[in-house]
Amino acid sequence: MSDNKILLIFTSKGTEMFSKACEYGIKAAIVVAQESLNGQRTSLKDITREINSPEAFTAKILQLLVRSRIIYSVKGPHGGFEIPKNQIDEVKLSEIVDAIDGDAIYKGCGLGLSECSASQPCPVHDKFVKVRDELKLMLENTSLYELAVGLEVGLTFLNR
Amino acid sequence: MSDNKILLIFTSKGTEMFSKACEYGIKAAIVVAQESLNGQRTSLKDITREINSPEAFTAKILQLLVRSRIIYSVKGPHGGFEIPKNQIDEVKLSEIVDAIDGDAIYKGCGLGLSECSASQPCPVHDKFVKVRDELKLMLENTSLYELAVGLEVGLTFLNR
DNA sequence: TAAATAAAGGACAAAAATATCCGAAATCAT
DNA sequence: ATGATTTCGGATATTTTTGTCCTTTATTTA
Ligand code: FES
Ligand code: FES
């Protein structure tokens, strides 16, 4: 053991690509999309059971998506969250990420400079832009529909 | 204004790819590399002036890099941080990120599942792995040397 | 209309990341 | 040896993120 006191200050389990809030938001949206494709609304409880997330916290994130008109909510018995069927294919991952984490991850400078600029690039700019742009493209081209279908068919998992 | 009380809870200026600690670490390492190529040591003060970062916090991060033997330190007058010239080309960005943020960003599941698995993939797995692997490759193939040279030549900036 | 249900919203709590302060230890120059 | 300099290390403070609790509001059903 010995010197793990100071190290603890920096013992992060590992910084991830998206915030927890965003991870929950994406997962929740996929569940809502999947149920919506089946013509069903999904309640907060159902969602948190499916994605194994803290209820009240997830509620806040869902509200964020509702405010961004990415999903829609209905109160009262048999209420819950839904997405109009014809809209599910139009909702891109980028909109969800943007609503929760902002666009810095796929638009901002990799070293945190005020803005990414090709004329005044940071040292990693050239190399970073390539992967960042591919991330951007991926997020903008991936629809909730395809993610929901994979889940419905049993090919993918939300909970492990 | 009206409803910005609740919204404030979620007003992040935008989640970035790397943590602040990691951004400082990368920038600091580049400065140290650049000076080392000139046969000079760099003091903490010089570093924080170059990259415009909080001094004491940056010191902690530098210590982390020292412990990982990515950079070396010398105490006392004319002390500071340095990297042996012949090592500068061998230090890859991935080692720095790994030492500070861990490897989750270029190895972990995009939706935060316990581990990324192709046999039990999360809904974004297929699409995410592509960009994550490119990020991994980029980090593993980018050396401190090339980043430092770009800075030396005046092509890149650390401070804007 | 009343009761039950589910989301919305506010206040608060805990944990993690970011940041500051100060003294100790090492090193160098005189 | 002494004093100046600079990193190292511990304690603490601030801010942001994550998470909980409980009340209010809207909606449905009986
Ligand atoms: S300036 Fe840093 S990524 Fe473009
Ligand atoms: S399982 Fe989620 S990215 Fe591989």
Q: What is the pLDDT of residue A3?
A: 34
Mean pLDDT of the region A112-137: 97
Which residues of chain B neighbour A113 with C-beta distances below 8 Å?
A: 157, 159-160
Q: Is residue B80 part of a domain?
A: yes
Q: Are residues A56 and A119 in the same domain?
A: no
**Quick one: which H or E segment has residue B82?**
strand B80-82
If pLDDT is split at 50, 70 and 90, which confidence band does A148 have?
A: very high
Q: Are residues B66 and B28 in the same domain?
A: yes
Q: Which chain A residue lies closest to B17 (C-alpha atoms)?
A: A105
If pLDDT is split at 50, 70 and 90, which confidence band does A14 have?
A: confident
Q: Which chain A residue lies closest to B152 (C-alpha atoms)?
A: A123
Q: Is residue A13 part of a domain?
A: no
Q: Are residues A83 and A156 in the same domain?
A: yes
Say if residue A5's pLDDT is above 80.
Answer: no
Q: Are residues B28 and B79 in the same domain?
A: yes
Q: Is residue A7 part of a domain?
A: no
Q: Is residue B12 part of a domain?
A: no
Q: Are residues B39 and B114 in the same domain?
A: no
Q: Are residues B76 and B104 in the same domain?
A: no
Angle between the N-to-C axes of helices A55-67 and A44-51, in degrees from 0 to 180, rounded to the nearest 10: 110
Q: Are residues B116 and B54 in the same domain?
A: no
Q: Are residues A82 and A148 in the same domain?
A: yes
> Domain range spanning residue A137?
92-142
For the record, the structure tokens of B25 come out as 């670490």
Q: Is the CB of residue A96 less than 8 Å from the CB of residue A22?
A: yes
Q: Are residues A25 and A64 in the same domain?
A: yes
Number of domains in chain A: 2
Ligand nearest to the CA of B111: 2
User: Nearest CA to A132 among A98, A107, A111?
Assistant: A107
Which atom of ligand 1 is found nearest the CA of A110? 3
Mean pLDDT of the region A107-135: 97
pLDDT digits (tens, 9 = 90+) for A42-86: 999 999 999 999 999 999 999 999 999 999 999 999 999 999 999
Q: Is residue B98 part of a domain?
A: yes
Q: Are residues B133 and B116 in the same domain?
A: yes
Q: How many CB atoms lie within 10 A of CB B133?
A: 13
Q: Are residues A76 and A150 in the same domain?
A: yes
> Within 7 Å: CB of A75 and strand D?
yes
Q: What percent of chain A has pLDDT over 70?
A: 92
Q: Which of B15, B50, B117, B119 would you mutate first to test chain A, the one with the most A CBs within 10 A?
A: B15
Which atom of ligand 1 is found nearest the CA of A129? 3
Q: Do B158 and A122 make contact, defined as CB atoms within 8 angstroms?
A: yes
Q: Are residues B76 and B153 in the same domain?
A: yes
User: Nearest CA to B30 among B159, B135, B160?
Assistant: B159
- Rounded, the Å distance between the CA of A38 and C1' of D1 is 85
Q: What is the pLDDT of residue A11?
A: 52
CA–CA gap between residue A107 and residue B135 (Å, rounded): 15
Instruction: Identify the CATH number of the domain in which residue B76 sits.
Output: 1.10.10.10
Ligand 2 centroid distance, CA of B47 (Å): 37
Chain B closest-CA separation from residue A96 CA (Å): 13
Residue B122, φ and ψ in degrees, nearest 5:
-75, 170
Q: Considering just the CA atoms, what is the radius of gyration of chain B in Å?
A: 18
Residue nearest to nucleotide C6 (CA to C1'): A76
Q: What is the pLDDT of residue B14?
A: 79
Per-residue pLDDT of chain B (160 residues; tens, 9 = 90+): 333 344 445 555 579 999 999 999 999 999 999 999 999 999 999 999 999 999 999 999 999 999 999 999 999 999 999 999 999 999 999 999 999 999 999 999 999 999 999 999 999 999 999 999 999 999 999 999 999 999 999 999 999 8
Q: Is residue B2 part of a domain?
A: no
Q: Whose CA is nearest to atom 4 of ligand 1?
A: A116
Q: Is residue B1 part of a domain?
A: no
Which residues of chain B neighbour A138 with C-beta distances below 8 Å?
A: 127-128, 130-131
Q: Is the CB of residue A84 less than 8 Å from the CB of residue A58?
A: no
Q: Is residue A9 part of a domain?
A: no
